[in-house]
Amino acid sequence: MTLCAESLAKIDREIAKYPADQKQSAVMSALRIAQQEKGWLASDTIQFVADYLGMPRIAAYEVATFYNMYDTQQRGKHKLVICTNLPCRVTWQQDVGEYLKKKLEINYGETTEDGKFTLIEGECMGACGDAPVMIVNNHRMCSFMTPEKIDQLLAELE
Amino acid sequence: MSEKVILNTLDHPEPGTLANYERVGGYQALKKILAENMSSEAIIAEVKTSGLRGRGGAGFPTGLKWSFLPRHFAGDKYIVCNSDEGEPGTYKDRDILRYNPHSVIEGMIIAGYTLGAQRGYNYIHGEIWDRYEHFEHALDEARAAGYLGQQILGSSFSFELHAHHGFGAYICGEETALLESLEGKKGQPRFKPPFPASFGLYGRPTVINNTETFANIPYIVRNGGQKFLELGKPNNGGTKIFSVTGQVNKPGNFEIPLGTPFPALLEMAGGMRDGRTMKACIPGGSSVPVLPADIMMTCTMDYDSLAKAGSMLGAGSVIILDDTVCMVRALERLSYFYFEESCGQCTPCREGSGWLYRVVHRILQGQGRHEDLELLIDVSKNISGRTICALGDAAATPVLSFIKHYRHEFEHHIEHKRPIDGCH
Ligand SMILES: Cc1cc2nc3c(=O)[nH]c(=O)nc-3n(C[C@H](O)[C@H](O)[C@H](O)COP(=O)(O)O)c2cc1C
Ligand code: SF4
Ligand code: FES
């Protein structure tokens, strides 16, 4: 198990942000970068990151399982997280959560049969004024979602 | 239109750029303190005069916080910015990072100068990746212009600043959990004392402030604390960015003087949607007590007025609920949030937040019992004040305030297994 040169270069950039004896501070970014390359964080990926940073493997596992955006289980090709917390939910003019569930024929927490989409009910993303908000694959935020925009988004995601 | 301290770059097609920040007086404060060799004492005195109170939720006076840092400590010290905004209803820091990242950068550099720190980090909420990238770009601009790095603008002062990207944990907004997370650990809050001022990042003296708090600093240094104070009202200096969400016509962020009457803010947000009537307002983010509309309409938007009304200004996140909202359902969603986000370290919070959620959930499902309301109150009171961090209180507060003001809705639900008429 290793990561590609591009990922390693990105991780090295993160390490450089912290004092020389505090490489562990880069673990959150390193796991994010590893997850982006591999799709999810398998045990050997987490171990690789821990070894790379010279930190105990168990400490890297703890981080990977503590923060919500790491996937320590394999999931669909595209992870769709929709915020359903109160400020967002009362702002919705249409029930886009129901729309997504119907369209994908899954419930929250499930993956479509073809393995393409996982739908997750999320917590506040700090973007409540743009409700309904969704995050696609951890990095892309989609604002003011409507059924039409959801259709477009799903068609665009290969 | 009242004067804007932070959202003052918006009349430009690319509001967040360095050039645009310089156009509105950006980095003048830094130049001034370096040119005049201004003393730390003088800067802290201005911040104290300004009446600036922390914008992250607790409202602690910033000048006082800064004065706690041991200034003659010889080793490393750190400046940390809390951009881990995740309190339901709050989305102001995201806009600050988008429209005026340099005000945060300049504020942090000034804090570094004042407190004798040479390194800083901005911890940015995991879900806002584009803001993180944007902030990194702003840091590059500031470095290239000589505002950051070694011997800033030819002075003997050096300061390095980096962005740290979070990855989805509300608890990391709590300052000591944030520091743990910055050290590459699980985000579990620390026992206090010691406070970050003496034992912070990597065990070193650290000042940690909210994004909006730092963004106000350049104005205060440039114009004097008195001018900032006068923008607001005594003990509530300056302007504040309020995030308005819920059933209004135009949800958004509004920077207004502290002390502005609530009805004026409601009007800026376009008034109630579909001409409905306002039922309730949670004025400071989901962790503060809910207030019924009639009380809310008499409040002014500042720390003192909202405290007097029985709530808190918090992070300035104004959640507006109309008369179609079932308060049992609303509370159930909030209770789930605290249950989900509890870090699990303290038994009263870990067990209590789950218990609260399960009881509110069963009332919502039509399986509530008559003794449930007293049970909820009892469990809430047993969490408050018995935990390492304030998340425990944050889980209890909505329960107590919802039952206090909307008891009849809960009783109706228990009795009839459905919401009161007209609500869902
Ligand atoms: C559960 C919890 C979540 C918090 N979330 C945030 C947050 O997202 N942003 C923030 O600035 N402060 C947050 N705080 C408050 C911080 O602990 C701290 O008081 C603040 O960052 C200090 O900055 P200030 O004095 O400038 O407000 C949170 C506190 C608790 C208990
Ligand atoms: S109060 Fe809750 S969130 Fe805070 S430290 Fe204790 S268990 Fe963790
Ligand atoms: S409540 Fe949905 S983004 Fe904040």
Three-class secondary structure assignment of chain B: CCCCCCCCCCCCCCCCCHHHHHHCCCCHHHHHHHHHCCCHHHHHHHHHHHCCECCCCCCCEHHHHHHCCCCCCCCCCEEEEEECCCCCCCCHHHHHHHHCHHHHHHHHHHHHHHHCCCEEEEEECCCCHHHHHHHHHHHHHHHHCCCCECCHHHCCCCEEEEEEECCCCHHHHCHHHHHHHHCCCCCCCCCCCCCCCCCCHHHCCEEEEEHHHHHHHHHHHHHCHHHHHHHCECCECCEEEEEEEECECCCEEEEEECCEEHHHHHHHCCCEHHHCCEEEEEECECCCCCEEHHHHCCCEECHHHHHHCCCCCCCCEEEEEECCCCHHHHHHHHHHHHHHHCCCCCHHHHHHHHHHHHHHHHHHCCCCCCCHHHHHHHHHHHHCCCCCCCHHHHHHHHHHHHHHHHHHHHHHHHHHCCCCCCCC
Hey, is the C-beta of A126 within 8 angstroms of any chain B C-beta? yes
pLDDT, tens only, B380-410: 999 998 999 999 999 999 999 999 999 999 9
Instruction: Tell me how many residue pairs between chain A and chain B have CB atoms under 8 A apart.
Output: 151
Residues of chain A short of pLDDT 70, as ranges, are none
For residue B53, the CA-to-ligand 3 centroid distance in Å is 25
User: Do residues B282 and B319 touch, judged by C-beta distance below 8 A?
Assistant: yes
pLDDT at B182: 98
- Whole-number Å distance between alpha carbons of B220 and A101: 50
Burial of A113-132, coded b for 16+ CB within 10 Å and e otherwise, reads: eeeebbbbbbbbbbbbbbbb
pLDDT at A128: 96
Q: Which residues of B touch A53 (CB under 8 A)?
A: 184
- Whole-number Å distance between alpha carbons of B253 and B345: 35
User: Do residues B347 and B379 touch, judged by C-beta distance below 8 A?
Assistant: no
Place of tokens 């996982």: A118
- pLDDT surpasses 70 at B96: yes
**Average pLDDT value for residue range B182-204:** 97
Verify cis geometry, omega within 30 degrees of 0, for the bond prior to B251. no
CB of B343 closer than 6 angstroms to any ligand 2 atom: yes
Four-CA torsion A134, A139, A143, A145, nearest 10 degrees: -40
What SS3 class is residue A23? helix
Of B88, B165, B251, the CB nearest to A124: B88
**B391: which 2 tokens?**
């998340």
Average pLDDT along chain B: 96
- Whole-number Å distance between alpha carbons of A144 and A134: 9
pLDDT, tens only, B111-130: 999 999 999 999 999 999 99
Hey, is the C-beta of A27 within 8 angstroms of any chain B C-beta? yes
Strand pairing category for B291-292 and B278-282:
antiparallel
The reply to whether residue B167 touches residue A28, judged by beta carbons under 8 angstroms, is yes
**B407: which 2 tokens?**
């008891």
pLDDT at B72: 77
B377: distance to nearest CA of chain A, Å?
Answer: 21
pLDDT, tens only, B20-64: 999 999 999 999 999 999 999 999 999 999 999 999 999 999 999
pLDDT at B128: 95
**Is residue A153 within a helix (H) or strand (E), and if so which, with residue range?**
helix A147-156
pLDDT at B283: 98
- pLDDT surpasses 70 at B1: no
**B78: which 2 tokens?**
């750190």
**Is residue A95 within a helix (H) or strand (E), and if so which, with residue range?**
none
pLDDT, tens only, A61-102: 999 999 999 999 999 999 999 999 999 999 999 999 999 999
Q: Which residues of B touch A85 (CB under 8 A)?
A: 88, 286, 333-334, 337
Q: What is the pTM of this model?
A: 0.97
Of B183, B334, B340, the CB nearest to A24: B183
pLDDT, tens only, B405-424: 999 999 999 999 999 999 99
Ligand 2, atom 4, lies closest to the CA of: B389
Ligand 1, atom 6, lies closest to the CA of: B173
Closest atom, ligand 2, to C-alpha of B342: 3
- Whole-number Å distance between alpha carbons of B282 and B280: 7
The 8-class DSSP code of residue A16 comes to T
Scanning A28-67 for CB atoms below 8 A from B yields 28-29, 31-32, 53, 55, 59, 62-63, 66-67
Ligand 1, atom 7, lies closest to the CA of: B173
**A98: which 2 tokens?**
């129901």
The reply to whether residue B86 touches residue A126, judged by beta carbons under 8 angstroms, is yes
For residue B178, the CA-to-ligand 2 centroid distance in Å is 13
- Whole-number Å distance between alpha carbons of B83 and B28: 24
Place of tokens 């002014």: B300
Angle formed by the axes of helices A27-38 and A5-15, nearest 10° = 160
Of B128, B169, B245, the CB nearest to A91: B245
Closest ligand to B354 CA? 2
The reply to whether residue A25 touches residue B182, judged by beta carbons under 8 angstroms, is yes
pLDDT at A119: 97
Burial of A28-60, coded b for 16+ CB within 10 Å and e otherwise, reads: bbbbbbbbeebeebbeebbebbbebbebeeebb
Q: Which residues of A touch B90 (CB under 8 A)?
A: 124, 126, 128
Which has the closest alpha carbon to B246: A156, A85, A151? Answer: A85
Cβ partners under 8 Å of residue B36, min gap 6: none
**B203: which 2 tokens?**
């065990």
For residue B255, the CA-to-ligand 3 centroid distance in Å is 20
pLDDT at A22: 98
Cross-strand partners of B261: B300
Residue B103 CB neighbour total at 10 angstroms: 31
